[in-house]
Structure 1
């Protein structure tokens, strides 16, 4: 391995040896990569055995699996099987190898003499015993680079795709881990290098956070491991702070990215391989954010995909562009990248055990499903709220505060937002604290806290307590009455969708801010869903409820 992404590809292959005590896997780091530090950390975290490179060079192995053709791999002793990582050989890396050659198919790395190797060297073939490829078209492209290597190629499919296909039924679990709920999950995928999404459009995540309402949409960002290694997770999070503060999830580089693709309802992408994996699993909307520049190779599966899906212009156009997506484009491109779907590990098992000279275990190979790991996310606690009233229907769009233009009012969660936001709030609300009671417990009543909040924050128009049952007890400045606000769930395709009570409080605020009495019943529109809201005078019991 040379990088973390190469390691992850190798780990996806290892289930072919599961349960076989005759096989003893170990890993070594091929020197020469700027991303090697993250690779070592990743393999150390997996608990695998690491063999120093110098020791690996003096040892004879039955089988050598590699996921990148770069480095002095011909010095390793044993049958060498090259498993290219990524999908489709769609990218050329500027300033590396032979100009214009696809990364993974570059003669500089495949042939003994490199790109300028002698004809006799090319006839002898390269250093790899077998190239395990994902599609017959890739064999043709390899044959064009090296006829002898093309003869040594075998189409086995893509082991990483097998994990995504096997995990599709876990979609609800992945969405629960992300905290998506009934919202639309929009994933953003960025590869690495100067033409990547994060280099070409670094502000796009924050721009999307400013136009996608919190109650209807969630953002999740998938970043290539090489880009994370280049600047480190700390600096990456600092660069992304505006979008992360608005609630965007930054998902993990190993396994979590693939689970996020399964969970997503739409993908915004550059020319990285993640888009082809996404398209192979389900035919959902894909938008191109940038064109790949001189890194994208014409005629490849990724070029076909980007050429057939809508192109995202300004972030504000996302709703229209998602609507413009037409099914079929993604699937066609994925079929050009991945063959043997559903059978890749079986094909890999046949190939590897034949090279080992061992009878293969009779049990079928099962791809390992992806874990449902929860990324660390920041939940917004202050919102610019946009309200549009039309009779008994009130549309509410809550956007994280200061992400875009100011809304009709600022709604802030006390106890979660900073003091500056709290002092600026038009609507201030508080939820029950999660901590358990201490030896001398105290708790606010709904009526007591709302009165305290209006007394302490003179700029606040209304304050509300969100009780554990979901009822909001709302107090309006200058009015002795307290209102009980309840938002009812919506039945949808055999499921129940529940809205945040704070969204209903913002809807009621549109009346009380104008000194108007709210109706006893109205509909709060969050995206395409209409939730019935009931408003009544708060009972003494509701006012005295502690939280």
Structure 2
């Protein structure tokens, strides 16, 4: 048992088991508690920038679960949450992976992964995700309860109270936590859950996660050595931090970029290309050269390739000749400098752009579509992406 209240329920439901029951805390929860000082390390490994909000989507298995009821919710979140302000991380119960096969789950989530969603493997990673989370969108599974017990805001996408013991802490959480409506704007609901969260409100429920926080390793080891009739080691039994995720997540590929221009500043909001399916979508579609979805290549207004060419203008001209609907293309020269070009347009070279070549290409597209000339570009352009701000040097050459 993880908490003494479970011993009380056991006495009601199965009194014969009480003499052999042990209240030993929760080793899994204790490891997450031990991991909290490393929160920034987990966030960095998951590709979460300091100013981004991490939205963890957790689903248990079965028909009433989040993934069972709302299989498109992960992609909907990715479509509606700006890339520079949020990172979506999804953790599905291992029974989903192995009940339907890892291949099938990866196919279901392939578009989500291309939209920048971090898909955690079934073996390990969900605990690191909970430590990194700013909010968890979940259901009646234990992961949602663990997240609440860590003090993280939770939003319930499903709340099937009939599937759990009505006297259990998870049932109390299902009755108390705010509920997500997948049919209305998701960003506002996510922000409201984070900004309005009060851990004290849930304390009477989440305190029932364990009555022995931080002591499970010691209690379990003492019990095991007692039953083996052996002396315990002299070294203390401590809970280890959970492993850092052993993979490097990738960002979104093709993107829908919204640009607001002033004289020397561009306010940029980025979404994955899949956001084009949202009714209120609008912006510049920037497609990657390695884009597997032909639809985005055919609709692209800007084409980018983060590669290095001896003659980048040759690649730009050749690529644009095969994509008549595309106005601009961008890639790097051998020195790593971004170069943006178009048919019958001057070439724009960037310095200090680093990873912002695709963004600058979208800004140039918006600049041209607003009626401005390439030679009117300022020598320096300040680009704002969420709370991030970068200064890019530009030079225009005929």
The two structures share one fold, judged by TM-score above 0.5 = yes
Give the Cα–Cα distance (whole angstroms) in 2 for the partners of residues 380 and 474 of structure 1: 20
Alignment match, 2:238:
366
Contact in 2 for aligned 1:211/1:315 (Cα 8 Å): no
Of the three residues 420, 429, 450, the one matched with 2:304 is: 429
Give the Cα–Cα distance (whole angstroms) in 2 for the partners of residues 229 and 458 of structure 1: 45
- Greater relative contact order, per chain length (Cα 8 Å cut-off, separation 6+): 2
Alignment match, 1:397:
269
Counterpart secondary structure, 1:386: strand
Contact in 2 for aligned 1:521/1:532 (Cα 8 Å): no
Give the Cα–Cα distance (whole angstroms) in 2 for the partners of residues 239 and 530 of structure 1: 32
Of the three residues 172, 175, 180, the one matched with 2:43 is: 175
Instruction: Compute the RMSD of aligned alpha carbons.
Output: 2.8
Contact in 2 for aligned 1:189/1:222 (Cα 8 Å): yes
**Cα distance, 1:334 vs structure 2:** 2.2
User: Where in structure 2 are the equivalents of 1:176-215 lying within 5 Å?
Assistant: 176-182=44-50, 183-215=52-84
Alignment match, 1:267:
136
In 2 relative to 1, CA 414–253 (structure 1 residues): closer, same or farther, beyond 3 Å? closer
Q: Are 1:465 and 2:328 an aligned pair?
A: no
Contact in 2 for aligned 1:396/1:506 (Cα 8 Å): no
Give the Cα–Cα distance (whole angstroms) in 2 for the partners of residues 523 and 532 of structure 1: 6
Give the Cα–Cα distance (whole angstroms) in 2 for the partners of residues 138 and 220 of structure 1: 32
Contact in 2 for aligned 1:249/1:376 (Cα 8 Å): no
Q: Are 1:482 and 2:350 an aligned pair?
A: no
Of the three residues 295, 320, 345, the one matched with 1:454 is: 320
**Cα distance, 1:499 vs structure 2:** 6.0
**Cα distance, 1:450 vs structure 2:** 2.9
Q: Are 1:524 and 2:392 an aligned pair?
A: no
Scaled by the length of structure 2, the TM-score of the pair is 0.86
**Cα distance, 1:190 vs structure 2:** 0.5
Contact in 2 for aligned 1:470/1:501 (Cα 8 Å): no
**Cα distance, 1:254 vs structure 2:** 2.8
User: Where in structure 2 are the equivalents of 1:400-419 lying within 5 Å?
Assistant: 400-403=272-275, 404-405=277-278, 406-417=281-292
User: Where in structure 2 are the equivalents of 1:106-185 lying within 5 Å?
Assistant: 133-182=1-50, 183-185=52-54
Give the Cα–Cα distance (whole angstroms) in 2 for the partners of residues 220 and 244 of structure 1: 10
Alignment match, 2:394:
536
Counterpart secondary structure, 1:220: strand
**Cα distance, 1:173 vs structure 2:** 3.1
Alignment match, 2:175:
307
Counterpart secondary structure, 1:474: strand
Q: Are 1:354 and 2:212 an aligned pair?
A: no
Give the Cα–Cα distance (whole angstroms) in 2 for the partners of residues 188 and 306 of structure 1: 16
After superposition, give the CA deviation of every residue in 1:44-97 in whole Å (9 maximum; x if it has no partner).
xxxxxxxxxxxxxxxxxxxxxxxxxxxxxxxxxxxxxxxxxxxxxxxxxxxxxx
Give the Cα–Cα distance (whole angstroms) in 1 for the partners of residues 214 and 37 of structure 2: 14
**Cα distance, 1:155 vs structure 2:** 1.8
Counterpart secondary structure, 2:211: coil
Of the three residues 341, 363, 370, the one matched with 1:507 is: 363
Counterpart secondary structure, 1:454: helix
Counterpart secondary structure, 2:240: coil
Give the Cα–Cα distance (whole angstroms) in 1 for the partners of residues 305 and 108 of structure 2: 31
| Structure 2 residue runs without a partner (length 5+) | none
In 2 relative to 1, CA 192–487 (structure 1 residues): closer, same or farther, beyond 3 Å? same
Contact in 2 for aligned 1:486/1:504 (Cα 8 Å): no
Alignment match, 1:285:
153
Alignment match, 2:106:
237
**Cα distance, 1:303 vs structure 2:** 2.7
CA radius of gyration, larger in? 1
In 2 relative to 1, CA 525–516 (structure 1 residues): closer, same or farther, beyond 3 Å? same
In 2 relative to 1, CA 195–376 (structure 1 residues): closer, same or farther, beyond 3 Å? farther
In 2 relative to 1, CA 315–356 (structure 1 residues): closer, same or farther, beyond 3 Å? farther
After superposition, give the CA deviation of every residue in 1:463-512 in whole Å (9 maximum; x if it has no partner).
22246877532224332x22234567xxxxxxxxx864322332232112
Alignment match, 1:74:
none
**Cα distance, 1:427 vs structure 2:** 1.0
After superposition, give the CA deviation of every residue in 1:292-350 in whole Å (9 maximum; x if it has no partner).
24113334322333333321113653322233231214554321221211111111111
In 2 relative to 1, CA 231–245 (structure 1 residues): closer, same or farther, beyond 3 Å? same
Contact in 1 for aligned 2:157/2:182 (Cα 8 Å): no
**Cα distance, 1:368 vs structure 2:** 3.2
Give the Cα–Cα distance (whole angstroms) in 2 for the partners of residues 155 and 195 of structure 1: 30
In 2 relative to 1, CA 539–343 (structure 1 residues): closer, same or farther, beyond 3 Å? farther
Give the Cα–Cα distance (whole angstroms) in 1 for the partners of residues 59 and 339 of structure 2: 44
Q: Are 1:337 and 2:337 an aligned pair?
A: no
Answer with 136-145 or 458-467: which moved more. Answer: 458-467
Scaled by the length of structure 1, the TM-score of the pair is 0.64
In 2 relative to 1, CA 382–343 (structure 1 residues): closer, same or farther, beyond 3 Å? same
